[in-house]
A and B are shown apart, each in its own frame.
Chain A
Amino acid sequence: MKAILVLLVGSGVAWPQIRMVERPSRAPLVDFRIVFMTGSAYDPSEKPGLAALTAALIAGGGTRELSYKQLLDAMFPMSGSVSSQVDKEMITFRGSTDIHNLEKYYALFRAILLSPGWREDDLRRIKDRSINNLRVGLRDSNEEELAKEVLYQTIYDGRPYGHHNSGTVSALQSMTIGDLRRFYELEFTQTNLVIGIGGGYPAGFPQRVKQDFEVLAKGAPSPRPAPPPRSVGSPRAVLIEKQTRSVAISLGTTLDVTRADPDYPALLVAQSYLGQHRASGGRLFDRMRELRGLNYGDYAYIEYFPQGMFRSDPEPNLARQQQIFQIWIRPVPPQAAHFALRLALFELDKLIKEGLTRKAFERTRSFLIKNVNLLIKTRQAELGYAIDSLYYGIPEYNSYLRKSLAKLTVKDVNEAIQRHLRTDNIRIVAVARNCEELKNKLLSNALSPMAYNSPKPDDVMEEDKIVERWRIGLKPDSIQIVPVETVFE
């Protein structure tokens, strides 16, 4: 949006400092969704994680008037809370209240965002939490999400998108209250702000909220970080050495197509066909899990989708200038890891070369046209999607998508696949034990035949003969083995 904002200011068009997204209804609840169009891409290079730590302290610390303990006491009877989410270009604060508590809740919500307490003891607690999320939550306890997060770093290595949103342990340890306050003053500005309010609030309430938030610095449009380049060159792999029962794999690459691109609906069809998130019926799911029993599930994405293990729907307000294409292979037994990786790439290659059949296209499109109605089911989601549409400069998501899908042809989809999806620049991340052995298998292009616990149809056995020798194209200097204890440090 900042790119658009600069254009408008440059051409003399007045742009309101704070943008409002209002969704009034008769619901007995009021939802707040406050988005600052800034994020971890704006972290100073020596302080990765500053945006996320700032947001976490605001949402999880006291205010100028109230200690965090007092705040929890005041929120508790209302079951009130404020949560934060940080991505590369958006920082989001969410909160909801029963209409009966609106005034009491809003007074606290406003103080949390506009009068942070900036206390050292709160920072110490929030830092510990952020470090433990990286070390314990991801590294020690969750191989699937670890593989995904390392993939996101690997895709953008060395660029503004190239660090985990929470940063690194050493950078987090070095950050001071002064660092956080400076980030807040610079980035939490009226220019960056979109206020989303939905539900049964009284007339004039959004205007009051807007006036309250005008205490923030006006701010100037800050230059956006240069868009990260496409992943180029040959395939690369990062193997994370960890004592595990199974091997968690994610693979992907950058994708220039965002919701603002005319090819977005076509690629959404391709994504849904290849692997609709956490649903059966996707090509990867059917071929890898249902038919071969390789694992618990296999999915594909054309947008960044963090926390996929815990969510059935994507969270809004993760909008970016550049997106990713990703395949998530859930943990497979070590002896099947090479084959599973090959099979996923085989299916991607097949999709690129052959495209969807007309029947598959029609089926997938009609699924999406109806399924989009389920996507935006809460007022929070409605506000979030509306703010994303503002960022991308597209109409309201639901109707935009339905209209675009209705106009699509199978030719459009298959041509878009050819234009945007590739296997030769893929990045692969696997969390496994005996990475050296896996590396040798990948490099030697050794056969990886499968043995099943029940007979398979002839066509599957024939297909396996192709898959078991599939060439991934990794070279010795394109595979890196990383001890798990060094990740995010």
Chain B
Amino acid sequence: MTRLLPTLLLTCLASGFAAPAPEKVFPFPYTQEDLPNGLRLVTIATGFPNIVSIYIVVRTGSRNEVELGKTGFAHLFEHLMFRGTPRYPSEKYTSTLKAAGANFNASTNTDSTVYHVTFSKEDLDTILMLEADRFQNLKYSPEAFKTETLAVLGEYNKNSADPAEKLDETLQATAFLRHTYMHPTMGTLKDVEDMPNQYDYGIEFFRRYYRPEYTTLIVAGDVNRSRVRPAVDRYWGKWKRGSYRAQIPVEPPQEEQRTARVAWTGPTLPWLAVAFHAPAYSDCDPDWAALNLLAQLAFSPNSDIYQKLVIEEQRVDRLDADLVASPDPFLFTIAVRLKRPDYLPNVQLQVLQTLDNFAASPVETDKLEAVKQHLRYQFTLSLNNTEAVAAAAARSLRAERSVDTINRLYDLYSRLTPQDIQRVAGKYLGVNSRTTVTLIGGQR
């Protein structure tokens, strides 16, 4: 890559690891630079011909919903961003994208809202202009606002059929008492139903967070920086920097284990979720990376417990562990779907014993190396088109705001040892940090 921005974390890179850096896992040449207004621009030449993907990452998600009664607003705002500007009302915005044959959509998570559009390279200038316009000049009527809140309610309704959504919601509400990670990105039903009355807050939300210092623009595909930067300066350069900083409540340490039960009225298979408070993402401090390797070592399809519960005993049909790369400490979560409710006590015991084993002794080196290889190939195999490359870059920005973090993370993985895995198992997966949620459905 061409480095135009001084690396902020040089101290991290020089932190005493001796092993040589392996080949870069993110193989595409890219540049990363800041405009004077704080907008960050990442330009990635993917080598795939003709196509360009723009991913716009705004670092605001349900984590930023700090006020009572306003849960789900980051996601609502994702919808509102398609409601047009004075120059490009929503119909004209859509028809301009359609004329370019573009695919476009957006998504929201706890930490960011991501807008993406993919199209042929000859339309790059038009699309950069169009996207810059809505990020700076969004304007919708109170009537359009109210109608859009109903589309959000429709989305809530479609999701509500899935017990896994309820399991996640309950887990977060139980594990977090103060931090905004306690509520779901979709928002609580009460708040979603109140959204039509919150037009003024919508304007305030835009004013706070849709600012260049919160935003990274990724332009990937058949592009080069010398064409992209002048167009970005022209269309995005006048965007005004903001000053708002959300005061996200800090979650106090959990002092004893917590449990919750979800009674699901319809028939479904039972679920068990076991979660522990985990550190925030870091490509520097080894703990997050070591826990992520542990998730694979302990619960991936070739792990001992997966092979026992899913393949041999066949008591479980889904088993995985997940660690979100979040800017604030989130959860290390093991989710299990069981074939019968009476399997629950034994399966829960086996999950906890698995974690205890990792804390008690170091994992075999070859198993650790297999996981490192698995993660590398899983990542590189996914980079098979421009849109996927841009999406991978966008995902990496959830916690760090630098695409450099991809290569730094895989470098960090390569240096971790069995002792690191054992250490983090002991440090983070203790009983007092644990939240257990079970979901039991009605009889079939």
B101 touches A331 (CB 8 A): no
B161 touches A141 (CB 8 A): yes
Task: Give every chain B residue within 8 A of A281 (Cβ-Cβ).
Answer: 94-95, 97-98
Whether B301 is near chain A, meaning CB under 8 Å from some CB there, is: yes
B126 CB to nearest A CB, Å: 12
Task: Give every chain B residue within 8 A of A456 (Cβ-Cβ).
Answer: 143
Query: Which of B5-13, B172-180, B264-272, B357-365 binds A?
Result: B264-272
Q: Which of B103, B196, B310, B374 contacts A76 (CB 8 A)?
A: B374
Q: For window 12-62 of chain A, which residues contact chain B by CB distance below 8 Å?
A: 27-29
Q: How many angstroms from the CA of A242 to the CA of B161 in the assembled complex?
A: 10
How does the 8 Å CB contact mask read for A136-153 relative to B, with 1 for contact and 0 for none?
A: 100011111000000000
Q: For window 249-287 of chain B, which residues contact chain A by CB distance below 8 Å?
A: 265-269
B103 touches A132 (CB 8 A): no
B103 touches A296 (CB 8 A): no
Whether A243 is near chain B, meaning CB under 8 Å from some CB there, is: yes
B302 touches A72 (CB 8 A): yes
Task: Give every chain B residue within 8 A of A459 (Cβ-Cβ).
Answer: none
B196 touches A453 (CB 8 A): yes
Whether A135 is near chain B, meaning CB under 8 Å from some CB there, is: yes
Q: How many angstroms from the CA of A368 to the CA of B310 in the assembled complex?
A: 45
Q: Which of B119, B155, B265, B374 contacts A374 (CB 8 A)?
A: B119
Whether A409 is near chain B, meaning CB under 8 Å from some CB there, is: no
How does the 8 Å CB contact mask read for A103-121 relative to B, with 1 for contact and 0 for none?
A: 0000000000000000001
Q: Which residue of A lies closest to B383 (CB)?
A: A29
B307 touches A140 (CB 8 A): no
Task: Give every chain A residue within 8 A of B97 (Cβ-Cβ).
Answer: 281
Task: Give every chain B residue within 8 A of A290 (Cβ-Cβ).
Answer: 90, 147
Task: Give every chain A residue within 8 A of B109 (Cβ-Cβ).
Answer: none
Q: How many angstroms from the CA of A401 to the CA of B257 in the assembled complex?
A: 60
- How many Cβ-Cβ contacts under 8 Å join chain A to chain B? 190
Q: A78-B377, A244-B161, A295-B154 are in contact. Are A132 and B269 (CB under 8 A)?
A: yes
Q: How many angstroms from the CA of A374 to the CA of B222 in the assembled complex?
A: 13
Q: A79-B374, A243-B266, A278-B105 are in contact. Are A331 and B158 (CB under 8 A)?
A: yes
Q: How many angstroms from the CA of A206 to the CA of B169 in the assembled complex?
A: 49
Whether B248 is near chain A, meaning CB under 8 Å from some CB there, is: no
A36 CB to nearest B CB, Å: 24
Q: How many angstroms from the CA of A29 to the CA of B142 in the assembled complex?
A: 51
Task: Give every chain B residue within 8 A of A452 (Cβ-Cβ).
Answer: 147
Of B150, B268, B369, chain A has the most CB atoms within 10 Å of the CB of B150
Q: For window 347-404 of chain A, which residues contact chain B by CB distance below 8 Å?
A: 363-364, 366-374, 377-380
B163 touches A296 (CB 8 A): no
A144 touches B158 (CB 8 A): yes
Q: Which of A292, A380, A485 contacts B267 (CB 8 A)?
A: A485
Q: For window 99-149 of chain B, which residues contact chain A by CB distance below 8 Å?
A: 99-105, 118-120, 142-143, 146-149
How does the 8 Å CB contact mask read for B147-174 relative to A, with 1 for contact and 0 for none?
A: 1111101110110111110000000000
A136 touches B268 (CB 8 A): yes
B120 touches A373 (CB 8 A): yes
Q: For window 437-478 of chain A, which residues contact chain B by CB distance below 8 Å?
A: 452-456
Q: For window 262-309 of chain A, which residues contact chain B by CB distance below 8 Å?
A: 278-281, 286, 289-297
Task: Give every chain A residue within 8 A of B301 (Cβ-Cβ).
Answer: 72, 76
Q: A79-B378, A101-B377, A291-B147 are in contact. Are A296 and B154 (CB under 8 A)?
A: yes
Task: Give every chain A residue within 8 A of B163 (Cβ-Cβ).
Answer: 140-141
Query: Which of B56-64, B238-246, B384-392, B400-408 binds A?
Result: B384-392
Task: Give every chain B residue within 8 A of A124 (Cβ-Cβ).
Answer: 314
Q: How many angstroms from the CA of A294 to the CA of B153 in the assembled complex?
A: 9
Whether A480 is near chain B, meaning CB under 8 Å from some CB there, is: no
Q: How many angstroms from the CA of A132 to the CA of B266 in the assembled complex?
A: 15
Task: Give every chain A residue within 8 A of B143 (Cβ-Cβ).
Answer: 454-456
Whether B311 is near chain A, meaning CB under 8 Å from some CB there, is: yes
Q: A292-B147, A379-B384, A453-B147 are in contact. Are A373 and B101 (CB under 8 A)?
A: yes
A459 CB to nearest B CB, Å: 15
Whether A129 is near chain B, meaning CB under 8 Å from some CB there, is: yes
Whether A233 is near chain B, meaning CB under 8 Å from some CB there, is: no
A140 CB to nearest B CB, Å: 4
Whether B330 is near chain A, meaning CB under 8 Å from some CB there, is: no
Q: Which of A68, A96, A366, A374 contacts B118 (CB 8 A)?
A: A374
A246 touches B158 (CB 8 A): yes
How does the 8 Å CB contact mask read for B70-88 relative to A, with 1 for contact and 0 for none?
A: 0000000000001000000
Q: For window 397-454 of chain A, which residues contact chain B by CB distance below 8 Å?
A: 452-454
B381 touches A369 (CB 8 A): no
Whether B50 is near chain A, meaning CB under 8 Å from some CB there, is: yes
Task: Give every chain B residue within 8 A of A297 (Cβ-Cβ).
Answer: 151, 154
B339 touches A128 (CB 8 A): yes
How does the 8 Å CB contact mask read for A312-334 relative to B, with 1 for contact and 0 for none?
A: 10000000000000000011110
Task: Give every chain B residue within 8 A of A286 (Cβ-Cβ).
Answer: 91
B314 touches A128 (CB 8 A): yes
Whether A311 is near chain B, meaning CB under 8 Å from some CB there, is: no
Q: A29-B384, A98-B381, A280-B82 are in contact. Are A370 and B158 (CB under 8 A)?
A: no
Task: Give every chain B residue within 8 A of A223 (Cβ-Cβ).
Answer: none
Task: Give every chain B residue within 8 A of A363 (Cβ-Cβ).
Answer: 95, 98-99
B182 CB to nearest A CB, Å: 23
Q: How many angstroms from the CA of A455 to the CA of B146 in the assembled complex?
A: 10
Whether B352 is near chain A, meaning CB under 8 Å from some CB there, is: no
A278 CB to nearest B CB, Å: 7
Of A286, A331, A374, chain B has the most CB atoms within 10 Å of the CB of A374
Q: Which of A76, A367, A485 contacts B101 (CB 8 A)?
A: A367
Q: How many angstroms from the CA of A296 to the CA of B380 in the assembled complex?
A: 34
B160 touches A245 (CB 8 A): yes
B103 touches A374 (CB 8 A): yes
Task: Give every chain B residue within 8 A of A379 (Cβ-Cβ).
Answer: 384
Whether A178 is near chain B, meaning CB under 8 Å from some CB there, is: no
Q: A281-B94, A373-B50, A373-B51 are in contact. Are A125 and B314 (CB under 8 A)?
A: yes
Q: How many angstroms from the CA of A141 to the CA of B161 in the assembled complex?
A: 5
Q: A331-B157, A370-B120, A379-B384 are in contact. Are A293 and B150 (CB under 8 A)?
A: yes
Q: How many angstroms from the CA of A103 to the CA of B311 in the assembled complex?
A: 27
Whether B373 is near chain A, meaning CB under 8 Å from some CB there, is: yes
Q: How many angstroms from the CA of A75 to the CA of B373 in the assembled complex?
A: 11
What are 28 A-B pairs at a CB distance below 8 A? A27-B384, A29-B381, A73-B302, A76-B301, A76-B374, A77-B373, A78-B374, A78-B377, A97-B381, A98-B377, A128-B339, A132-B269, A140-B266, A141-B163, A242-B266, A243-B266, A245-B161, A248-B158, A280-B94, A281-B97, A286-B91, A312-B105, A331-B158, A367-B98, A367-B101, A374-B51, A374-B119, A453-B147
Known: A121-B311, A374-B101. 13 other contacts (CB 8 A): A78-B374, A124-B314, A132-B317, A242-B266, A244-B161, A278-B105, A280-B94, A294-B154, A312-B105, A371-B101, A372-B101, A373-B50, A378-B388
B-side residues, CB < 8 A to A, are 48, 50-51, 82, 90-91, 94-95, 97-105, 118-120, 142-143, 146-151, 153-155, 157-158, 160-164, 196, 265-269, 300-302, 307, 310-312, 314, 317, 339, 369-370, 373-378, 380-381, 384-388, 441, 444
A-side residues, CB < 8 A to B, are 27-29, 68-69, 72-73, 75-80, 96-98, 101, 121, 124-125, 128-129, 132, 135-136, 140-144, 242-246, 248, 278-281, 286, 289-297, 312, 330-333, 363-364, 366-374, 377-380, 452-456, 485
Q: Which 9 A-B pairs have the closest CB atoms?
A: A370-B101, A293-B150, A79-B377, A296-B154, A371-B101, A293-B147, A454-B146, A246-B157, A295-B154
